[in-house]
Amino acid sequence: MSRFLRNPSALVGLVIVLLLVVPALCAPLLPIADPNEANLTNRLAPPGSDGHLLGTDSLGRDILSRLLHGLRLSLAVAISATVVAGFAGSLIGLLAGFYRRWVDTLLMRSMDMLLAFPYLILALAIVAVLGPGLLNALLAIAVVNIPFFARNVRGATLLWTRSAFVEAAVLSGRKRPAILLAEVLPNVVPTIIIALSTTLGWMILETAGLSFLGLGAQPPTADLGAMLAEGRTVMLVHPHVGLLPGVVILILVVGLNLMGDALRDVLDPRLSQGVSAAPGAATVVERGGARAAGAENAGPVEDSFVDVRNLTLSFSAEAEGAPAVQDVSFRLGRAEALGIVGESGSGKSVTALALSRLVPSPPARILRGEVRIGDTDVLRASPSALRQLRGRRVSYIFQNPWDSLHPMIRVGEQVMESLRLHGPVSRAAARRRARELFEQVALPDAEAALRAYPHQLSGGQCQRVGIAMALANQPELLIADEPTTALDVTVQKQVLDLLRQIREEHGLALIFISHDLGVVQAVVDRVMVMRRGMVVEEGPTAAVLSNPRHAYTQQLMAASPVLGRGRKQDLGEAPADARGGEGA
């Protein structure tokens, strides 16, 4: 609740709604005229005239009074219709989503029948049968909104019903109806609330609409839609009579929708995790004043190709917390291979992405440091210089092979795009080159693979496409971010062999990120162990593995069981502070 009130749009919405609803509720108590008291001698008085703050309509009735009473009516009808539709629709959705099979087919196919009508048309048909009138309009509007609730609630129910905790409840001996009520329903409630709040605004519009068409509230009842229709007849000379009810509807619905949006932001778990922030083109570099100490005299060092100094990066979400990457420095020569190892939260992937400013901003900000790749000063590079660096001189292989490729573009096209982004290459030439690359990464049937979409390939094949794409422009630096984590062990070995082979043939520099010391050592010359954004230990692979100096490295090595050591091995006691590290 407090989170809801801290949301600015919720606050604005709430104020708007209260400003309208409170006077409307108090309308009978306020010192205003009776809404139906006609006075033909004082017709169409302009706003501000004596005793009629907003003037009078064509029968001389007080517009303010009619507005407030109309508002009461609209709210009452809209809320009742929302409750009826919400209850019926949610019940249908819950049952369909939970019991699936024939229950689902039966209920949702009936909903499809209702959805086959544009909803206002269906409402018209219902009113046609029942006859015009406010109650019938209410019923019509409620019925046409049932499918909306049913669909939303069914979707949520289905999602939660498939989740592991529902199966866990089965293993706890819970009966099916109890699972629906005690396990699934509490998780579906936010969806229902969101749907209710979204619908309320529509209901107001729809009630007013039917009344406007003369099918809802009948004269002389004060109703916003009916007032609008009446005002239309005198629109030419007295526009306020028709405009005012519309303004009231608009403001009320804006208020309700603002509250609805805020409610959704608070209740939708995906949105509260900050899903809505889309990253920009490059990580923001923010230099609070001078450069970090020690980086002052940083010129390119002769033998190093990659030179990182005091790189510090923070995700603004954790405002006061420790930076995600803190004072990381390392160098890498041409044709050298470095492994960066660490557990989740160690900052290893962030470091790798930061090398070409691919860490999503917002929320990431680079606070200080230097990154040089060849003669490019990455943190000061212009957008176009960055684009020339990326994919041309520095390329990436990512962790999740399927998600990293565009799902709807043929993989051949995607490799060709890499080629054509960095120079004038004809389609035919790009295609020949893509074919060569596919053969080089040992994709079986390269010709067919060019025409495949990612979902038609296995994980290992997708990763080979990813590697082919990374190699397209013969980069000088290849950065592989957990490239085998999502793969099966036997496939992992093949991909590692391929990477090793590529290194030998192309003589490129390689940075290999992994959570697994064992995987890294198969490919790299040097390792760097990271923990909580800092470098813990760095050295030649063999030296670090045979004689780890830092306690954390020792613990990491002891932690994973080794095949062939059987039950004898002791997976090691965590150092004192590792327990704290595991806490949430």
295 three-state secondary structure: coil
Q: How far is the CB of 317 from other proteins (least distance, A)?
A: 15
Identify the residue among 212, 305, 315, 330 touching other proteins (CB under 8 A): 212
Q: Which residues, 13 to 52, sit near other proteins by CB under 8 A?
A: none
How far apart (Å, rounded) are the C-alpha atoms in residues 582 and 576? 11
- Can residue 205 be called a binding residue for other proteins (CB under 8 A)? yes
Identify the residue among 36, 58, 80, 187 touching other proteins (CB under 8 A): 187
Q: Which residues, 85 to 124, sit near other proteins by CB under 8 A?
A: 109, 112-113, 115-122, 124
Beta-carbon contacts of residue 311 (< 8 Å; ≥ 6 apart): 325, 327, 328, 329, 351, 354, 366, 368, 369, 370, 371
- Can residue 365 be called a binding residue for other proteins (CB under 8 A)? no
Identify the residue among 54, 75, 306, 405 touching other proteins (CB under 8 A): 405
Q: Which residues, 443 to 482, sit near other proteins by CB under 8 A?
A: 453, 455, 466, 469
- Can residue 83 be called a binding residue for other proteins (CB under 8 A)? no
Using alpha carbons, list the distances in angstroms from residue 485 to 99, 272, 399, 467, 582.
37, 28, 7, 15, 21
Q: Which residues, 419 to 448, sit near other proteins by CB under 8 A?
A: 421-422
Q: How many residues bind other proteins (CB under 8 A)?
A: 136
- Residue 34, Cβ neighbours under 10 Å: how many? 13
Identity of the residue, 236 or 428, whose beta carbon is nearer to other proteins in the bound complex: 236
Q: How far is the CB of 82 from other proteins (least distance, A)?
A: 16
Asked if residue 68 lies in contact with residue 54, where contact means CB atoms within 8 angstroms, the answer is no
How far apart (Å, rounded) are the C-alpha atoms in residues 327 and 349? 15
- Can residue 517 be called a binding residue for other proteins (CB under 8 A)? yes
Binding mask 217-256 for other proteins (x = CB under 8 A): --------x--x---x--xx--x--xx-xx--xx--xx-x
Identity of the residue, 26 or 559, whose beta carbon is nearer to other proteins in the bound complex: 559
- Can residue 58 be called a binding residue for other proteins (CB under 8 A)? no
Asked if residue 352 lies in contact with residue 340, where contact means CB atoms within 8 angstroms, the answer is yes
189 three-state secondary structure: helix
How far apart (Å, rounded) are the C-alpha atoms in residues 142 and 161? 27
How far apart (Å, rounded) are the C-alpha atoms in residues 321 and 317? 9
Q: Which residues, 554 to 573, sit near other proteins by CB under 8 A?
A: 555-567, 569, 571-572
Asked if residue 453 lies in contact with residue 407, where contact means CB atoms within 8 angstroms, the answer is yes
Identify the residue among 3, 287, 406, 549 touching other proteins (CB under 8 A): 406
Identity of the residue, 268 or 377, whose beta carbon is nearer to other proteins in the bound complex: 268
Q: How far is the CB of 242 from other proteins (least distance, A)?
A: 6
Identity of the residue, 205 or 510, whose beta carbon is nearer to other proteins in the bound complex: 205
**Residue 216 tokens, joined:** 């809802």
How far apart (Å, rounded) are the C-alpha atoms in residues 355 and 373? 8
376 three-state secondary structure: strand
How far apart (Å, rounded) are the C-alpha atoms in residues 24 and 8? 24
Q: How far is the CB of 112 from other proteins (least distance, A)?
A: 6
Phi, psi of 248, rounded to the nearest 5 degrees = -60, -45
Identity of the residue, 68 or 477, whose beta carbon is nearer to other proteins in the bound complex: 477
Of 491, 330, 254, 388, nearest to 340 by C-alpha is 330
Which span sits near other proteins by CB under 8 A: 164-172, 284-292, 305-313, 371-379?
Answer: 164-172
Q: How far is the CB of 509 from other proteins (least distance, A)?
A: 16
